[in-house]
A and B are shown apart, each in its own frame.
Chain A
Amino acid sequence: MTSPNVAAGCAAPDQSAPMPASVDIHRETVLTGIVQTAEGEAVGGAYVRLLDSTGEFTAEVVSSPEGVFRFFAAPGSWTLRALSRSGNGEVVVDATVGVNEVGLSVSPA
């Protein structure tokens, strides 16, 4: 049973919520992690975007108050890029099926 919030629309699910029961993490390629400053402070409200291997935009979410973000992608190479008032940052990830934990730190330009 898929929750109607997830099935019908395009708004990002609540990033701080636990994984919906409908999500089969053995089939999904999940990229998740926390946006942090260089000092290790969580950055909530950051705009985190997922770029494909050619650099093209694929999706964007807003990090939770605890800095948490999450994407459902496919196996392969992805770039995660964060924009925030605390600065910007990016990281390249080689994702596989299952949950991929990603650290994403931002620093002022």
Chain B
Amino acid sequence: MSRDTALVSADWAEQNLDTPGLVFVEVDEDTTAYDGGHIPGAIKIDWKKDLQDPVRRDFVNQEQFGALLSERGISNDDTVILYGGNNNWFAAYAYWYFKLYGHEQVRLLDGGRKKWELDARPYTKDVPVRAGTTYTAKAPDLSIRAFRDEVVEAIGVKNLVDVRSPDEFAGRLLAPAHLPQEQSQRGGHIPTAISVPWSKAANEDGTFKSDDELAKIYGEAGLDGSKDTIAYCRIGERSSHSWFVLQELLGHENVKNYDGSWTEYGSLIGVPIALGDEPGKA
């Protein structure tokens, strides 16, 4: 993968709003942003209502994903352009998810809503009507999804990349600072994880830094390119952003996103936790 096949610019997007075979999809947790104005022609996907199983703590399965995309009018051969707020966190999560279920052509809009708004590009409140399709999702590609047991086994063995803010890594904050800090799980990080906040990969306007800058950031942080990598954050959306950087922009192989992330790990009985700013020992 590379930048050319994974990312589109705001300029390119604005010139291709009406191009057949492209579907713009806004993905957010709080979809009131979409309702207040969105890129013309874009449909919305609600990170929680549409992508999470309503009962079990997991995301929707292959059949549910196929049913969702059929209902929203997305075909298997459409090129899906994803964007959203929160510096594209949830759009990146959805990108990972489209890849997990085998969608061929999917791109992220560089900078998401923030870049679009700061550039004063057009929004509309018109909601497009798309005819239903028969979308067939593929079996989940588990080479990009990590589960808790392999995360514990990866301590001291694989690259573990904690992409939360330094204060969350150290255990001084339990959640991103736009959320209340009272949480059930313990603070800290997975021992031997390196701290590379997702934000290091992004410019202030939400666009991704250049490949050279990105490679330098991970190199200086101590990522060993010869090892497999697991990225995590708190609920798996910021780490989707970093997974996207490592696998889709920089072309690393064997990168997994641990979507259980700290909300799961920090609640497990008996697993090791490291506190403070250093990775800690296995």
Residues of chain A touching chain B, judged by Cβ–Cβ distance below 8 Å, are 2, 5-6, 8-14, 20, 22-24, 27-28, 45, 47, 49-50, 52, 54, 56-62, 70-74, 83-85
The proximity string for B residues 167-184 relative to A, scoring 1 for CB distances below 8 Å and 0 otherwise, is: 100001101111111100
Contacts of B278 in A (CB 8 A): none
Contact size range, B: 35 or more
Does A74 contact B90, Cβ atoms closer than 8 Å? Answer: no
Q: Are B172 and A59 in contact (CB under 8 A)?
A: no
Once the chains are docked, how many angstroms separate the CA of A84 from the CA of B119? 10
Q: Please, which residue of chain A has its CB at the minimum distance from the CB of B52?
A: A8
Q: Do A74 and B172 touch (CB < 8 A)?
A: yes
Q: Given known contacts A57-B165, A58-B167, is B30 in contact with A10 (CB within 8 Å)? A: no
Pair A10/B238 contact, Cβ less than 8 Å: yes
B28 interface residue (CB < 8 Å to A): yes
Alpha-carbon distance A62/B116, docked complex (angstroms) = 14
**B114, B165, B200: the one within 8 Å of A58 (CB):** B165
Q: Does B78 contact A (CB under 8 A)?
A: no
Which residues of the partner chain A approach B165 to less than 8 Å between Cβ atoms? 52, 56-59
By a beta-carbon cutoff of 8 Å, the part of chain B in contact with chain A is 28-30, 32-33, 47-48, 85-87, 89-90, 114, 117-118, 120, 165-167, 172-173, 175-182, 197, 199-200, 204-205, 234-235, 237-238
**CA A49 – CA B118 in complex, angstroms?**
15
A12 surroundings in chain B (CB, below 8 A) = 30, 86, 178-179
- CA of A38 to CA of B66, assembled, Å: 51
Beta-carbon contact of A59 and B166 below 8 Å: no
| Pairwise interchain contact A9-B29, C-beta atoms closer than 8 A | yes
**Complex: A81 Cα to B94 Cα, angstroms:** 28
Within the assembled complex, what's the spacing in Å between the Cα atoms of A22 and B200? Answer: 32
Contact of A8 among B48, B172, B238 (CB under 8 A): B48
Q: Do the beta carbons of A60 and B234 come within 8 Å of each other?
A: no
- Residues on B with C-beta less than 8 A from A20 are 180
> A23 and B85: CB pair below 8 A?
no
